[in-house]
Structure 1
Amino acid sequence: MTLTMIISGKSFTQYDESNAHMNSTIVEYIEGIEVIKAFGRAGTSYEKYAKAILDYKKFVVKWLSSTWITMKMTFALFPSTLLGTLPVGLYLTMHGQLIISQLVLAVMLSMSMVTSFAKIEVFSENLREMQYNIESIQDFLTMKELPEPSVYANINSYDVKLENVHFSYTGEEKDEVLHGIDLTMPAGSFTALVGPSGGGKSTVARLISRFWDVTSGGITIGGVNIREMPLSQLSEMISFVTQDNFLFRCSIMENIRLGNSAASDEEVREAARKACCQEFIEKLPQGYDTPAGEAGKRLSGGEKQRIAIARMILKNAPIIILDEATAFTDPENENKIQKSIEELTKGKTLLVIAHRLSTITDADKIVVLKNGCIEGAGTQEELLQNCQLYQRMWQAHVGARHWAVGSQKEGEDSCLAL
């Protein structure tokens, strides 16, 4: 049995890795089946899926074959305990060193050892599997939590300030994504972040919410460094709406109530009405009580985004961060939601990450980010005069709008001609 464990143990890590690879391939194939079919890659993807399973099968058969001889010998020798115990026990009993009851107990124990020894092998494999799983998540188990004080900080205003902020996801200077960002957002102001993709806009927003800590520099709210306030206090002050919104496994009502756990049902419905959610929620099988797991399959990206906006409206935080909050919203409801957001954000510190420049022309300050650096900052008029990057972005935006309108008119004229 010891020899079996040694032989088996050498391949156990490889077994777990092979099993994990097969499982991930199966999940990838099933979750990505729509994309696979859309691009006509069903054959290639299925080959990868089938190969992972066959490779796993071959490895397991080979692994078990390597221990077949020693395992069979083990189980063949297990019953021999009785062949040794019984004659010796009879001999000792005949010479008065054992009584009958002791002999019977000895025989019973020798026979029960077979099952116990067999369980040792199973238990040892379970221990090795536990060790592999723990080692694979060791980085997460030992990951340091963000330090935070236990006492709420005294905040008198809600101006946000970034001072010489550097940030790297790895902590190494060569991997920096933000390089010395200085930005001031006065309380009650409307600030917009624009720029090419990958410039660091979303990173700035997430650092303000302290999803991560800055590598160097500092971020303050009301003059207090966000590291000096509990995360619970920070989360109470900031509402964050992203493009990628998540619905939890509870009802639509409770998903919206995440914005304010103390809100009444009527307050939740009012927030949903302001976010233009009422119409599609009422079409769900159980309305507001429909489980989000079921509803999530029926809702579009724009509808999920409106639920996130309803959460924000219900929360009514003094600092609001919007990452293109109406990106997936249909034109019919976009204007209504924009008006609701404008009404909600009056007097609040608002940071908007914008891709459609027409939505931020009235911003108090527009900040242009490129490659983790600020290329320019100012009002719409100032940037059009002083920032070449913003000028090109604006011209491209206006040109795209004119192209769309022109294409529509040409199509209408063609229809009239026909």
Structure 2
Amino acid sequence: MLRMPMIAFMTCINAIFLALVIAAFLITGDGVSSGDILNIMYYIIVTPLITVSLTKVAYSGEAEMTLIDALKRVDQILEIEPLPDNKSDLSPKDSSVQLEHVSYRYKDATRDAVSDVTLSIRPGEHVALVGPSGSGKTTLAELLVRFFDVSEGKIDIGGVDIKNMSSSGLMKQVSFVFQDSRLIKTSILENVRMGRPSASEEEVLAALEKAQCMDIIDKLPNGIHTILGEKGTYLSGGEQQRITIARAVLKDAPILILDEATAFADPDNETKVQAAFSEMAKEKTVIMIAHRLSTVADADRIFVLSDGKLEEQGSHADLMRQNGLYRRMFDEYSRSIEWKVGV
């Protein structure tokens, strides 16, 4: 937004030198006097000082606008109304998930992101949410962990409405790995320990091993005590994702939500991430969100969303036989992975 005005401003103030040269030729066309020389020398000396001063003013103004914009974004976050936290000690009886006529509309939106969705997930069942982009998959996952409350309907975990559970109680029931998970600038140990702050170093190492992270740890100068971002120590997107998975492994919640968790992984990292998921998902209720339909073909059930509504549900084989939206999506996906350059 500021680039073109800044370019124009810098061009104008530096064009003063061109104006000086032209003026010098015009003034000295009939000969050069000592006064002319002094005037030209004066402007040659003073003009750079003015240019530097104006440049500093321009950069100060740009920095001020950047700061104001950042403060506005901070204010937007601080102005968000926190959800009411129920202090109830109600505990779910199991890891089942039940959605009853759930709808949600974002502020200022003209239509529901999720509309009248009803579904039931049994304890220990592995299910997938699929659908075109913008169909409401991620919104539904965020509603399950109560990032915001439903506009209509209700969500139960183990027979308990999540609104009637305390925030800490709900977080003990659910682990989640999103596609844009981030690590903070501290040690690998502390990043993983965020899943369970009371965990010992041995438990953290065990979680890292289950998450297929030992090759990452072995190459770091101080192992799990290496500070990320310090002295050029950085991890790739796929490696960060595996560390995030280790955090979820350590937390060991009965319900696991995976939202496009392999989206930024290269083929080698994706293989290791999938192996980590297989280890982590044992005896847990798993809700997967994926665009790569081959990764969810083995799910117990697949829920197909479109425009925020639940269109189809069933196993991969059942949905292929129905010849509906899922079948069309799977056929398009199959053609896309067979596409080759120059063919």
Shared topology, TM-score over 0.5? yes
- The 1:49–1:210 alpha-carbon spacing in structure 2 relative to 1, beyond 3 Å, is farther
1:47 aligns with 2:7: yes
Letter of the 2:150 counterpart = V
Which letter does structure 1 place at the counterpart of 2:101?
A: N
Tell me the CA shift for residue 199 of structure 1: 0.8
Q: 1:401 and 1:134 mapped to 2: Cα distance?
A: 44
What is the aligned length?
294
Q: Out of 398, 402, 405, which is 2:338 matched to?
A: 402
Equivalent residue letter for 1:368 = V
Residue aligning to 1:70: none
1:156 is matched with 93
Give 1:259's match in structure 2, choosing from 178, 195, 198: 195
Provide closer, same or farther for how the CA distance between residues 377 and 339 of structure 1 changes in structure 2, counting only shifts above 3 A: same
The alpha-carbon distance between structure 1 residues 137 and 283, as it changes in their structure 2 partners (threshold 3 A), is closer
- TM (normalized to structure 1)? 0.63
Kindly state the Cα deviation for residue 165 of structure 1 after the two structures are TM-superposed. 0.8
Secondary structure of the 1:350 match is strand
SS at 1:366 equivalent: strand
RMSD between aligned alpha carbons? Answer: 3.2
SS at match of 1:395: helix
CA distance in 1, matches of 2:72, 2:205: 47
Matched with 1:75 is none
Aligned position for 1:211: 147
Quote the Cα distance in structure 2 between the aligned partners of 1:320 and 1:49: 54
Q: Could you tell me which of 83, 91, 102 is aligned with 1:165?
A: 102
Q: Residues 299 and 139 of structure 1: is their aligned pair in 2 closer, same or farther, counting only changes over 3 Å? A: closer
Residues 340 and 372 (structure 1 numbering): CA distance in 2 closer, same or farther, change over 3 Å? same
Q: Please, which of 268, 277, 282 is the counterpart of residue 346 of structure 1?
A: 282
| Contiguous gaps of at least 5 residues in structure 2 | 12-52, 62-69
Deviation for aligned residue 1:144? 2.6
Q: As a proportion of its length, which structure holds more helix?
A: 1
The DSSP-based 3-state class of the residue aligned with 2:230 is: helix
Q: Is the 8 A contact 2:177 2:248 kept in 1?
A: yes
Say if 1:247 and 1:293, in contact at 8 Å, map to a contact too: no
- Residues 398, 156 of structure 1: alpha-carbon distance in 2 compared, 3 angstrom cutoff: same
Contact 1:375 1:387 in 2 (8 A): no
Partner SS state of residue 176, structure 1: coil
CA offsets 1:194-213 (integer angstroms, 9 cap, x no match): 11111110000000000010
Residue 334 in structure 1 maps to residue 270 in structure 2:
yes
- Decide which moves more: 223-232 or 242-251: 242-251
Is residue 277 of structure 1 aligned with residue 213 of structure 2? yes
| CA apart distance, 1:274 | 2.0
- Equivalent residues of 2:178, 2:261 under 8 A apart: yes
Distance 1:387 1:200, change over 3 A: farther
Please list, as runs of the form range in 1=range in 2, the aligned pairs for 1:19-418 lying within 5 A after superposition.
47=7, 57=57, 143-170=80-107, 174-294=110-230, 298-403=234-339
8 Å contact kept, 2:239–2:269: no
Per the normalisation by structure 2, the TM-score is 0.76
> Percent identical across equivalent pairs?
42
Contact 1:284–1:295, Cα closer than 8 Å, also in 2: no
Q: Deviations over 1:369-410 (max 9, x none)?
A: 111111211111111121422111111222233335xx79x9
Is the 8 Å Cα contact of residues 376 and 387 (structure 1) preserved in structure 2? no
Change (3 A) 1:276 1:139: closer
Contact 1:243 1:324 in 2 (8 A): yes
Offset, 1:279: 1.4
Maintained 8 Å contact 2:210/2:280? no
**CA gap 1:292/1:49 in 2 versus in 1, 3 angstroms:** farther
What displacement does 1:332 show? 3.0
Q: Secondary structure at the match of 2:270?
A: helix
Q: Secondary structure at the match of 2:140?
A: helix
1:209–1:234 contact (8 Å) kept in structure 2? yes
1:187 shift after superposition: 0.8
- Compared with structure 1, are the counterparts of its residues 380 and 46 closer, same or farther at alpha carbon in structure 2 (3 Å cutoff)? farther
Are residues 48 and 257 of structure 1, via their aligned partners in 2, closer, same or farther at CA, if it must alter by over 3 Å?
Answer: farther
Q: Cα offset for 1:296?
A: 8.3
Q: In structure 1, what residue type is equivalent to 2:169?
A: Q
Structure 1 residues 49, 317: closer, same or farther in 2, change over 3 A? Answer: farther
Question: For residues 267 and 358 of structure 1, what CA distance do their matches in structure 2 show?
Answer: 33
Deviations 1:215-242 (A, max 9, x none): 1111110111100000111111100001
What is the identity, as a one-letter code, of the residue corresponding to 1:170?
Answer: K
CA distance in 2, matches of 1:400, 1:134: 43
- How far 1:343 moved relative to its partner? 2.9
CA distance in structure 2 between the aligned counterparts of 1:135 and 1:243, rounded to whole angstroms = 26
* SS state at 1:294 partner: coil
Equivalents in 1 of 2:227, 2:116: separation in Å? 45
Q: Which has the higher contact order (CA 8 A, sep 6+)?
A: 2
Partner letter of residue 168 of structure 1? R
